[in-house]
């Protein structure tokens, strides 16, 4: 059922869900939301499954016209959202009526906003996912970003509009993308392939995210990392969060649309719990790295998953009560 007409697409707005990780063994990029935590929280707020498809808007949000009533939630980076020119809160389920318009202003903080609709965006699945992979020209709407005139189909929600309106996250459950802090990573298989001086600089000096960055990878500018035996290795597995160092000596962070293998030395991999924080970085901002143990990384991810499980359970309980 048509729910939204795209009046203006924004800078880069795509349909994303949690991606297609089960196809990596076939060389297929996972894709999916850059900030999966914000996508999941937006879906929970509107009563969807965590994996439902939503919109990911980058830096400049779209202009959307609602063609029937429903409920939306906006999470992630603050792109200054408004309905009918009235500012609306983020991290909250909000009722919309037929004829309402959603617009965005200047980016306040973060980089990517997630717009979830009760019922979830209903585009055809490709390899089990609705995520847009622009480089492959598949998923989402014709494998591309939104364009003016597009109509978005949204499924039926199991919740009544009135039961969703006003839902919000507890303040302590809202991710903090504003504070400046270190990005935690696990040392990789090649960290000893760099000179001690280079390795020390990597751990103690900031790197700047360059304009030559996208959903495939973030290119960083900072202290030059000197290889001991050269940058090349036999190609092996790569995942989102991998910190690769090519011959330039400047790190590259692989992101959601990255490939599945690579032939350059890897300093390490950013922990899953910090990938949402990295996803909200924009060009010109700085990144400082901090190594941690696998055990600590597991603990941090477990805390994040426990929050999502708790919120999802509340959703399921409310859905059962409404069905009675």
Write out pLDDT tens, residues 292-319. Answer: 999 999 999 999 999 999 988 877 777 6
Which pLDDT belongs to residue 140? 97
Closest by Cα among 245, 306, 251, 301 to 276 = 301
Which pLDDT belongs to residue 320? 60
- Residue 322 parent element (H or E): helix 294-323
DSSP state letter for 194: B
Closest by Cα among 39, 257, 238 to 134 = 257
Which pLDDT belongs to residue 258? 96
Query: Residue 93, Cα to own-chain centre: how many angstroms?
Result: 19
Sign of CA dihedral 127, 260, 280, 173: positive
- Report the chain's terminal Cα–Cα distance, integer Å: 26
Summarised one tens digit per residue, pLDDT across range 221-273 is 999 999 999 999 999 999 999 999 999 999 999 999 999 999 999 999 999 99
- CA–CA distance, 205 with 201 (Å, rounded to integer): 5
Place of tokens 């970085």: 281
Which pLDDT belongs to residue 323? 54
List, in sequence order, every beta strand (DSSP E) within the chain. 2-8, 13-16, 54-58, 63-66, 70-78, 81-83, 86-87, 93-96, 101-104, 109-117, 151-153, 183-187, 207-209, 217-221, 232-237, 242-245, 252-254, 261-270, 286-287, 289-291
Which pLDDT belongs to residue 86? 97
Low pLDDT (below 50) residues in the chain? none
Which pLDDT belongs to residue 322? 65
Give, in order, the Cα–Cα distances in Å from 38 to each of 26, 115, 152, 253, 292: 28, 10, 21, 20, 24
Which pLDDT belongs to residue 51? 96
Residue pair 303/274 in contact (Cβ under 8 Å)? The answer is: no
């Amino acid at each position: 059922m048509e729910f939204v007409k795209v009046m203006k697409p924004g800078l880069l707005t795509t349909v994303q869900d949690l991606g297609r990780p089960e196809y990596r063994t076939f060389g297929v990029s996972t894709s999916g939301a850059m900030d999966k935590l914000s996508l999941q929280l937006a879906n929970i707020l509107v009563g969807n499954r965590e994996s439902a498809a939503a919109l990911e808007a980058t830096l400049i949000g779209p202009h959307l016209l609602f063609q029937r009533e429903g409920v939306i939630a906006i999470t992630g980076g603050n792109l200054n959202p408004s309905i009918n020119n009235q500012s609306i809160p983020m991290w909250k389920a909000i009722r919309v009526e037929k004829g309402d318009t959603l617009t965005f202003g200047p980016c306040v903080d973060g980089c990517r906003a997630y717009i979830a609709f009760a019922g979830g965006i209903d585009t055809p699945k490709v390899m089990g996912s609705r995520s847009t992979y622009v480089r492959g020209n598949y998923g989402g709407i014709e494998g591309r970003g939104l364009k003016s005139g597009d109509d978005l189909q949204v499924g039926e929600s199991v919740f009544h509009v009135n039961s969703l309106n006003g839902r919000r996250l507890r303040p302590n459950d809202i991710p903090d993308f504003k504070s400046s802090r270190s990005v935690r990573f696990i040392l990789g298989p090649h960290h000893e392939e760099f000179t001690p001086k280079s390795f020390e600089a990597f751990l103690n000096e900031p790197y700047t995210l360059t304009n030559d960055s996208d959903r495939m990878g973030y290119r960083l500018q900072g202290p030059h990392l000197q290889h001991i035996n050269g940058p090349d290795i036999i190609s092996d597995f790569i995942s989102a969060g991998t910190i690769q160092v090519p011959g330039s000596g400047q790190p590259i962070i692989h992101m959601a649309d990255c490939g599945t293998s690579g032939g350059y030395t890897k300093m390490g991999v950013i922990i899953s719990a910090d990938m949402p924080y990295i996803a909200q970085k924009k060009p010109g901002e700085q990144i400082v790295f901090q190594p941690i143990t696998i055990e600590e990384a597991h603990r941090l991810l477990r805390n994040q998953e426990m929050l999502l499980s708790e919120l999802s359970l509340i959703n399921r309980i409310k859905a059962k009560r409404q069905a009675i």
